[in-house]
Amino acid sequence: MAPGIDGLPAAERDVDVSGPVARFLATTSPRVLTRLRLGLRAFEWLPFPWRFSRLDPAAQEDFLHRLERSRLSLHHDLLLMAKLFSTLGYAVTPQVQDRIGFEIGCARADGSLPEPAGSLGDTEPQGEGEECDVLIIGSGAGGAVAATELAEAGLDVLVLEAGGHYNRDNYPSDHLEAISELYRDAGLTIAEGRPPIPVPVAKVVGGTTVINSGTCFRAPDPVLEDWRQHFGISWAHDLDADFAEAEETLHVTQLDPERIGRNGQLAMEGAAAIGASGAPIFRNAGNCVQCSSCPFGCEIDAKRGMHVSYLPRAVAAGARVRAGVEAHRILVEDGRAVGVEAAVVIGSAIRSQLRPPAGTRSFTVRARRAVIVAGGALGTPELLQRSGLGGRHVGRNLHIHPACWVGARYDEEVRGWDGVMQSFYIDQWEHERVLLEATFTPLAFGGAWLLGAGRDHQRAMLDFGHVGSIGVHLCDQSSGKVGLGAEGSLRASYKLTAADARRLAFGIARAAEVHFAAGATEVYPNIARVGVLKPGDLAQFEATTFKPAELRLEAFHPMGTARMAADPGEGACGIDGAVHGTTDLYVADASLFPTSVGVNPMMTVIAFAKQVARGVAEERASSSSRQISSVS
């Protein structure tokens, strides 16, 4: 896969790739690992009667080129899998990064470090369990904000997080270890279907806000109106104050177009050239001007993830946070949620997932007032289903914002890793449910999408500094579901419709149009049978119909799997976030969204969590008043 050319080291001969990747893959769930083993076995025997590993290097490279030219989607899927894992292990080595000139870093405009975040106290779970007024399961944008609202309202709040606690003092420096430590299933959670779509989500204190791009959009008004009108969410248009408070807390700032980096500037110039509307992105990172470490945790914590913003505030108000505690089953007595049965990984809450845990021990939490589930749109339905709660709507209605990477080559040097990772948006085609965002991913992730195999792929990697990229982001009408596999593990599936596939192809064409208007010499639409687009190829591309299975997609925004609706027949939760059928059980995360929100969802999750938490606090206050009245 990487024979070594023009100063690049050869995999295995000069740098160890297979060893670190094998250790990395061993951290995934049994279900994911089984799928990977099947794929690797198929790849190994595809040259039957020979085995790929036993071919000589020239025959191996010839075989890879034949896969690339094949008309079979299975061949392209297997080749992409091989490129993904070989590139992941290869591109993180210092020798490769030095030769390409690739650097990861984070910096503020004045070169200073942000003030240290407040303490989270002792996050290590002690003993066999704890008690609290309100138990919150999950510490991302929903759980952290709910904890802050409730702790500041005077309730005794306990937050459980399955992952470890990290910040700028201890993020793993090894990128493979960082992915294993900070992501669920080492970032390999897959929504099964045609095509299968990776949906990487976090498993760390602070949730996905620790590893996301930091992009902050308010929910679009038409979406909120749809939720009000069709799902009975009466308060959907009453979120401005919540958005404003969150923007202040998170230091949300619009990027300076002079400092966003060349990748964002090219998207901005291309959009202006064709008259497409757009603007620099708003981010929760203050005056951060260099940001390429986001997927591995912000090196200086300039990005205000929940672990350095709302959670310290919640702890200052009396909340407790416990890391390394995985909830297994919600406890229900007489129809009321009263706590959770959980397991603690023995040892520190900060542990290397590249080494097996020493074991687990039971941990039980009792909640006097309420249980709030905020494990995200994958984790929340998983826990509810494991507990037999929530009814038939739990796990359905999965939306994910399917997205694809559209790269382009420029004669000028782009160095997309300089500046801000996600920097400029183009909303000209919102009526087609398409949003474009100039997004440059690190070499370890983006390198696998480059064209070619063997030496050709290495030449493309050497040219990485001349590549610009735009993400095509779909407000999907397609949907999927989350369930439990036979062994009790998470199973997600998603069916991309032909209509949404057409919208994505339209978005790819618009991204290509922006690239060409900005001066790109060729565009990579990430569709195997197209390969490369030249400036005169767009009309033919747009006249072509692509099957859903031909698209190479990923997704970062799961939502909708415990849908909120005034009518119990339409959703799993009421408009107060309460789970139908169980008293004192609530949801406070993107699972509540009735439909796809269409933009990066963090700010909408925060606003929904505030609504839910205020309702819980008010219910507690009214309950206390009733008790006082009855005594008097």
Per-residue model confidence as pLDDT tens digits over 397-418: 999 999 999 999 999 999 999 9
**351: pLDDT confidence band, cut at 50, 70 and 90?**
very low
State residue 379's pLDDT score. Answer: 98
- Span 83-106, average pLDDT: 92
- Span 42-71, average pLDDT: 92
What the block records as the tokens of 585 is 């059980």
The Cα–Cα gap between 258 and 280 comes to 10
- Span 8-13, average pLDDT: 93
Q: Is the predicted pLDDT of residue 566 greater than 70, yes or no?
A: yes
Which domains are seen in the chain, by residue range?
A: 1-100 (no CATH), 130-214+217-251+295-397+562-625 (3.50.50.60)
Q: What is the pLDDT of residues 71-90, one digit of tens each?
A: 888 898 899 889 999 999 99
The Cα–Cα gap between 526 and 44 comes to 24
Rg of the chain taking only CA atoms, in angstroms: 24
Beta-bridged to residue 480, according to DSSP, are 398, 494
Type of residue at 88: L
What the block records as the tokens of 278 is 């757009």
Beta-bridged to residue 288, according to DSSP, are 108
Write down the catalytic residue from 399, 515, 557, 580.
Answer: 557
CB 435 within 8 A of CB 599: yes
User: 623 or 617: which carries more pLDDT confidence?
Assistant: 617
CB 527 within 8 A of CB 544: no
pTM (2 d.p.): 0.95
Beta-bridged to residue 15, according to DSSP, are 11
Instruction: Please tell me whether the peptide bond between 195 and the residue prior to it is cis, using omega within 30 degrees of 0.
Output: yes
What the block records as the tokens of 184 is 């669920």
HEC letters along 535-587 = CCCHHHHHCCCCCHHHECCECCCCECCCCECCCCCCCCECCCCEECCCECEEE
In degrees, rounded to 5, the angle at the alpha carbon of residue 519 between the alpha carbons of residues 514 and 523 is 60
State residue 489's pLDDT score. Answer: 83
Q: What is the pLDDT of residues 34-55, one digit of tens each?
A: 888 999 999 999 999 999 999 9
Type of residue at 57: P
**625: pLDDT confidence band, cut at 50, 70 and 90?**
low
Q: What is the pLDDT of residues 199-218, one digit of tens each?
A: 999 999 999 999 999 999 99
User: 200 or 628: which carries more pLDDT confidence?
Assistant: 200
Classify strands 288-291 and 157-161 as parallel, antiparallel or unpaired. Answer: unpaired
State residue 350's pLDDT score. Answer: 47
State residue 626's pLDDT score. Answer: 52
**357: pLDDT confidence band, cut at 50, 70 and 90?**
low
Q: What is the pLDDT of residues 300-322, one digit of tens each?
A: 999 999 999 999 999 999 999 99
The candidate with the shortest Cα–Cα distance to 217, out of 604, 559, 572, 568, is 604
Percent of the chain, pLDDT > 70? 96
Q: Of 99-113, 194-208, 616-630, give the lowest mean pLDDT range.
A: 616-630
DSSP-based three-state secondary structure for 468: strand
**What Å distances lie between residue 129 and 126, 151, 160, 426, CA to CA?**
7, 20, 11, 49
Q: Provide DSSP, 316-373.
A: HTT-EEEESEEEEEEEEETTEEEEEEEEEESS-SS--TTS----EEEEEEEEEEEEEE
State residue 630's pLDDT score. Answer: 52
In degrees, rounded to 5, the angle at the alpha carbon of residue 616 between the alpha carbons of residues 613 and 617 is 85
Q: Is the predicted pLDDT of residue 613 greater than 70, yes or no?
A: yes
State residue 503's pLDDT score. Answer: 98
Number of H helices, E strands in the chain: 17, 21
The Cα–Cα gap between 344 and 361 comes to 5
Dihedral of the alpha carbons of 172, 173, 176, 179, in degrees to the nearest 10? 40
Q: Is the predicted pLDDT of residue 292 greater than 80, yes or no?
A: yes
What the block records as the tokens of 285 is 């990172």
The Cα–Cα gap between 443 and 96 comes to 10
CB 316 within 8 A of CB 144: no
- Span 585-594, average pLDDT: 98
State residue 348's pLDDT score. Answer: 47
The Cα–Cα gap between 254 and 250 comes to 12
What the block records as the tokens of 56 is 């000589």
**623: pLDDT confidence band, cut at 50, 70 and 90?**
low
What the block records as the tokens of 612 is 């839910």
CB 279 within 8 A of CB 119: no
Q: Is the predicted pLDDT of residue 349 greater than 50, yes or no?
A: no
Tokens 């949620």: give the residue.
337
The Cα–Cα gap between 386 and 270 comes to 49
State residue 353's pLDDT score. Answer: 47
Mean pLDDT score of the chain: 93
Is 473 annotated as catalytic?
A: no
